[in-house]
Chains A and B, each alone.
Chain A
Amino acid sequence: MVSLNAVLLISFGLFSIGIAGVLIRRNALVILMCVELMLNAANLNFIAFARHSGSVSGQAFALLVMGFAAAEVAVGLALVVALYRKRDTVQVDDINLLKG
């Protein structure tokens, strides 16, 4: 039996790495991957609490989150490709169209 604290610790670590990646990386693709990592950390929490309470709701919602993540990746990657067509770069520091 896995203790809930261990799961929370692991998923907290994964979420922190994801946030750090979003904040410090310049490549838009890696930033998208880090967002996926954060969604997965949340999923891990859902499943851990579902296991802890014996309720099926956590697992059902983890499945829904997984589908939502797939939709998000599709749109995000399409945005990256469109951006690359327009600006010829995927580095977020080079994307300053809104700067006056």
Chain B
Amino acid sequence: MEHLLETIGRNLFAIFGVMALGSAAFMVASRSAVHSVLGFLFTMLCIAGCFLALEAEFLGMAQILVYAGGIVVLFLFVVMLVEMSKKSGAQVFQLQSRYAVAAVLIGAALFVGVFRKVIFGAASAEALVLRPGLAQGLDVAKQNAQAVSRGLFADYLLPFEILSVILLVALVGAVVLAKTERV
């Protein structure tokens, strides 16, 4: 039993990754849009597990909050709004999907061909390394959120501010696009 748990603990990333692949395939293949949303939800949770296995604790939690908490609810809301009056017997896949699948397979073969020989060096022992000035008074290994925020606000303050402007514009744009034409 202990041995089994230890094996699972060591292969957490592979387990979550394979589950994410499986539920993503379910999402693409399922006929009903609600089932697709549920597959999407499970995929996002598995990817959050992958983030945790890669020692990005803050991002794993942010993934669960943003995707499982916000985006999936938004999707479900719109699916309920839009799909209720669907005509039955509609085709699921597009007409040209045979060529699309062939194109994706060729792309995959090219990717494997190009990156086959790439050999990666040894990983760094620490999950995160901050500059000495930034890491002052911080246990980087244990305080992931603080470490990420210090890196973010020290080096990437401008992209962060630009992102907040993008979010504001998207919010206003969504309201303008979705509002009814009356008055």
Contacts and interface: CB of A to CB of B under 8 A. Distances in A.
B166 A71 contact: yes
Contact of B36 (A33, A56, A68): A33
A69 B56 CA distance: 19
B128 A21 contact: no
A47 B54 contact: yes
Contact of A33 (B13, B27, B124, B174): B27
Most buried by A among B85, B120, B147: B120
Contact of A92 (B94, B108, B160): B94
Given A19-B104, A48-B54, A75-B170, A63 B148 contact: yes
A26 B24 contact: no
Interface in A15-66: 16-21, 23-27, 29-30, 32-34, 36-37, 40, 43-44, 47-48, 50-57, 59-64, 66
Interface string A55-94: 1110111111011111111110111111011001011110
Interface residues of B, number: 84
Interface residues of A, number: 72
Given A12-B111, A61-B156, A47 B75 contact: no
Contact of A77 (B25, B74, B83): B74
A61 B14 CA distance: 24
A10 B107 CA distance: 16
A75 B63 CA distance: 20
A34 to B, nearest CB: 7
Contact of B94 (A5, A14, A26, A44): A26
B40 A37 contact: yes
B62 interface: yes
B120 A5 contact: yes
A6 B54 contact: no
Contact of B163 (A23, A68, A80): A68
B51 A78 contact: no
B96 to A, nearest CB: 8
9 contacts: A7-B17, A14-B21, A14-B24, A16-B108, A17-B28, A55-B128, A55-B129, A56-B147, A63-B152
A60 B53 contact: no
Contact of B62 (A44, A63, A79): A63
